[in-house]
A and B are shown apart, each in its own frame.
Chain A
């Protein structure tokens, strides 16, 4: 395996970890409106990710940085080509990011409401648009020989990309509700579970539609039929495990299942992309990993740096989660966020 392929996998891994972690953040954000009945409950729901959301989002920043550091031609083409979509992703991330801090300072319910709405809207926008972009990209878009991408409106917004966006939102929501079941007790935990009982059947229907559209709209099943099929099945299997966990009230299994489903979406996309990073409608203009990559020297340095730093980060990252295990109950603990 060449170093550039290794870094392609690392970037995929970073995105998969990001979706696993920030996925439940997004879901928790959406859940504030769906299962929280009053301000106290919404604030309590938000507080489950209070210490974690910033660290979770750093995985996205790291994935972006790793793209720039290892496959810069991919970074340049993708980010400039999907200009407006990424702008809106940023708006979503900004809106939800500031709301954690601002809601603490709002005194009245009306004031808090503003930031709870930005939190909700941002939590919905970001996963929808990110998945929309990824599912648009893998279908192939108009590009020139310089690697500049010029996707038109219907290259960006089409059946597969919209279903992909909705699937991303649904998966994040389900994942977030499973996280709430882990971190809360009392009626909110019950409500999260009963909402998930409703959502999972819809999710399964969505996953089937998604798989069919991927089959017809991308070349994944032509290029690597076996691995694409296995990964698609894994997405469904992990969702089934999550659903089983909901029915049997095993929160841990539910949470792991929904998170891995989300990660597997990224695995499916990266597996289908390989050995390309950008797919052009004119195959001659597609960008291959080896052409997008940095020099061997830079990749070697980045590999050494990553091998030293990532384990250290993982250790204190996991430790930080282990500090907050007490379940939150808005009725008993007066949650002052």
Chain B
């Protein structure tokens, strides 16, 4: 067999990371866009202002592009557990399969059926009923997030189970505990809120590019969209901050190692704890140096008070050894990858800050009384570039969540190395990695390219002689 110094585990991990990160560009964006398009269509139904109908249709196109890539890459996710992680599937089947199956039955059917209806029934339903279809789709996407996060939360913080003595596999004892896992209800708001924020930022950014085109007749459309997106960006960046803090409280309790790594703390801190903004991390020797600290700040951020110390990775590692050596052996390395976590966390926080700030400035400069935003070309360009920023933040956020689980695939119960398929070979994994990589490059590139062209064509492109032209929101439709 091929020997390139690659191991099955590392290739399988790389593949999981690649497919999940790629899938998770489109999923949060689709969740957010679905919700915002539903809001736009509802605004049209309520206010009967045609610009909201134009917005629904135009941003709906972008939503559909993203949704398409989101679903096809989603099938990979479901198959991947069996294909690459068969030992994991055997071990976890009793717990993990149920949320996945419920996700399909409850969420995927709603979103797939109702999006099909929404796309093709502009001329069939009254405006209100047509809006119901996109709301159903949006609800479907959010329900889907609940169930997949329920499965993920079990991996982060197992609840409601026992180990079956004869098979050695996990056995579900209380389904209620899986569904009410505190981890789940702390992650879910963070995910949904930041998804909506991401969609808002993209709408604002694309509108900024739209304004830069200075095409006649499109100004009102893009200005309205811009302010819509900026309001979403501002409100939801603040909410994301709150939701993130809410989740951190749980992390502190369930996964102190992950928390210590995100703050780059090796030795237990003083009381009160200083907050390290940046430092250089020596993960090999378990040391950090060159810290830039703000005194007391970490206690404030963590415990919301001016006292309290935070446990470091060194002492946590010792505790893990005392707890798990009997089962997993003395050679385990329990240090979470501190460099990745430390910087991912900072990037994620910075992204949230940038989005909040840019949204605020954009709203100020485009306010009705003194609208000068079009004279600030540089700022429009900055907003345009900001389209990419939330995706960096989202990926960094998942890095914290998933790398922070290291070395566990199921926290405290199964290691990543134990989970991989015994049938996998370096050759087959290398092949599938290359196939996925090529496929994703093409899909991602095409999606972005078509989105960009849709933007260039603008909202009033080719509206004539299309069957979508039948205006469901014309006066007659409302009189029905």
Q: Which residues of A contact B (CB under 8 A)?
A: 50-55, 57-58, 60-62, 64-70, 72-73, 75-81, 83-84, 86-87, 90-91, 93-94, 97-98, 100-102, 105, 107, 146-150, 294-295, 297-298, 301-302, 305-306, 309-310, 313, 316-317, 320, 323-324, 333-336
* Number of residue pairs A-B, CB distance < 8 angstroms: 225
**Residue B172 is within 8 A (CB to CB) of chain A in the complex:** yes
Contacts of B71 in A (CB 8 A): 54, 57, 97
Taking a contact as CB atoms under 8 Å apart, the answer to whether A68 and B81 are in contact is yes
Give A329 Cβ to nearest chain B Cβ, in Å.
12
Taking a contact as CB atoms under 8 Å apart, the answer to whether A80 and B83 are in contact is yes
**What are 21 A-B contacts with C-beta separation under 8 Å?**
A50-B116, A51-B120, A75-B93, A76-B82, A76-B87, A80-B423, A84-B432, A86-B83, A105-B450, A148-B422, A294-B97, A295-B94, A297-B173, A298-B94, A298-B98, A298-B171, A305-B102, A313-B109, A323-B117, A336-B466, A336-B467
> Assuming A62-B105, A69-B98, what are 18 further A-B pairs, CB within 8 angstroms?
A51-B116, A57-B75, A58-B108, A64-B78, A66-B101, A70-B101, A72-B93, A75-B82, A76-B93, A79-B82, A80-B84, A87-B432, A146-B422, A148-B423, A298-B97, A301-B175, A305-B101, A334-B466
Taking a contact as CB atoms under 8 Å apart, the answer to whether A317 and B109 are in contact is yes
CA distance A53 to B119 in the complex (A): 13
CA distance A313 to B104 in the complex (A): 11
A106 — nearest CB in chain B belongs to which residue? B450
Taking a contact as CB atoms under 8 Å apart, the answer to whether A302 and B98 are in contact is yes
B105 — nearest CB in chain A belongs to which residue? A309
Given contacts A84-B428, A94-B75, contact A317 B172 (CB under 8 A): no
B90 — nearest CB in chain A belongs to which residue? A76
Contacts of A101 in B (CB 8 A): 64-65, 67-68
| A interface footprint on B99-116 (CB within 8 Å = 1, 0 otherwise) | 011111110111011111
Contacts of B443 in A (CB 8 A): 94, 98
Contacts of B73 in A (CB 8 A): 94
Contacts of B67 in A (CB 8 A): 101
Most buried by A among B100, B423, B428: B423
Given contacts A105-B453, A320-B113, contact A69 B100 (CB under 8 A): yes
Taking a contact as CB atoms under 8 Å apart, the answer to whether B423 and A73 are in contact is no
Most buried by B among A76, A93, A94: A76
Q: Which of A105, A298, A323 contacts B454 (CB 8 A)?
A: A105
B120 — nearest CB in chain A belongs to which residue? A51
Contacts of A148 in B (CB 8 A): 86, 421-423
Taking a contact as CB atoms under 8 Å apart, the answer to whether A68 and B86 are in contact is no
Q: Which of A57, A62, A77, A336 contacts B468 (CB 8 A)?
A: A336
CA distance A66 to B67 in the complex (A): 24
Taking a contact as CB atoms under 8 Å apart, the answer to whether A72 and B94 are in contact is yes
B66 — nearest CB in chain A belongs to which residue? A101
Taking a contact as CB atoms under 8 Å apart, the answer to whether A51 and B117 are in contact is yes
**Residue B323 is within 8 A (CB to CB) of chain A in the complex:** no
